[in-house]
Amino acid sequence: MSRATYKNNPTPIAVNRITFDIKNITDSYDVLDKEGIYFEFNNKDAINTDYKQLIIGPTETPYEGGFYFFNAQFPDQYPFHPPTMKSMTQGGGVRKHPNLYTCGKCCFSFLGTWSGPPWTACQNPKTIASSMKSVMTEFPLENEPGWEKIHDERQKTYARLIKFFNLKWGVCNIMENIPDEFLCFKDEIHKNFIKNYQSYDKVLSEYEKLDGVKEISPTYGFSITYDYTLVKKRLERLKKMYILPSLSDLKSKVPDTHPKKDVAVVNTLPKEDETVVNTSSSNVVNVPCKPIRKSPKESAKDYEVGTIKEGINNQKFVVSLFKRGDKYYKRWFPYKE
């Protein structure tokens, strides 16, 4: 078999197979969404062999909720050769996984970059992503040859280092500045951040007593300083920008402005343009009222999540997401410095 080329000049067979795989993946979006696997293909005008991949780190592992980007390219002879793959989520010179090098190299036998079962024509981008995610395990160092049966403190040390890498570089860095080439995934990133925030906060709490401590990896020659306080502040800032306040939080911010005797107003935060009626008193006069709009006049849906603008009386508001049913919507919410 001839060697693979990656010149964005696919053969007719490759075009047909790429088209088939893209359609199959597009039709499987809901299933892949639940698995935390996303793709972006550049095939709007014509077949382009480049594509992008996002893997959300699996639960109960050091990678939980992290955003792991990959640049990929189909070979011109696809499916008889595997795509190329480069890991793009990097930071601090950290080797985040035995199979994922700091230079971006991805070592897997099905990609032809490691020994073992080779690529077969029945494989596709979905099987590649699923296989890559499957090695993001509780103790990643077990994937390094020679370390499979070593179950000592070194395994725990490496896992602890990668947990912090995940929060600092795999979550905070990405949320604060999504790389331009991966902005195609911004909605999925924001959605998963909201979904996994409590997990981030819980994991980070494990490092409070290690604040400022520098730990050296048992292999790969890197170290990490656990700057807990800084990462905590970054996460809290991101929470204010992207997480919908709870109803109890919103109620606590509403001033107590009960009217005079025999008139009552519901002590909740009304929706914009919503009529407020109270029936909690035996001596009640129902008072239809239209709340004063304090948020910016512009519609929140026209802005990116996290956008901060001033409303009436110079009060700041931020665009946040809230879930209704299975869908997410944008809305202005008070922003507190």
Backbone angles phi, psi at 43, to 5 degrees: -125, 35
**How far apart (Å, rounded) are the C-alpha atoms in residues 299 and 78?**
46
Quote the radius of gyration of the chain (alpha carbons, Å).
Answer: 25
**How far apart are the C-alpha atoms of 85 and 69, rounded to whole Å?**
10
First-to-final CA distance of the chain: 62
Q: Which residues 6+ apart lie within 8 Å of 255 measured at CB?
A: none
Cα gap 208→212, rounded to integer Å? 9
Judge whether 107 counts as a catalytic residue: yes
Beta carbons within 8 Å of 258's beta carbon, 6+ residues apart: 264, 265
Q: Which long-range CB contacts under 8 A does 5-8 form with residues at least 24 apart?
A: 5/75, 5/76, 5/77, 6/49, 6/73, 6/75, 6/76, 6/84, 7/76, 8/48, 8/49, 8/50, 8/73, 8/76
Per DSSP, the three-state class of 265 is coil
The dihedral of CA 36, 155, 116, 7: what is its sign? positive
Q: Which of 103, 106, 107, 172 is catalytic?
A: 107
Cis ω for the linkage preceding 79 (within 30 of 0): yes
Q: Which two tokens stand for residue 54?
A: 């996002």
Contacts of 44 (CB under 8 A, 6+ apart): none
Q: In this structure, what are the phi and psi dihedrals at residue 310, rounded to the nearest 5 degrees?
A: -90, 140
Which residues participate in catalysis according to the annotation?
107
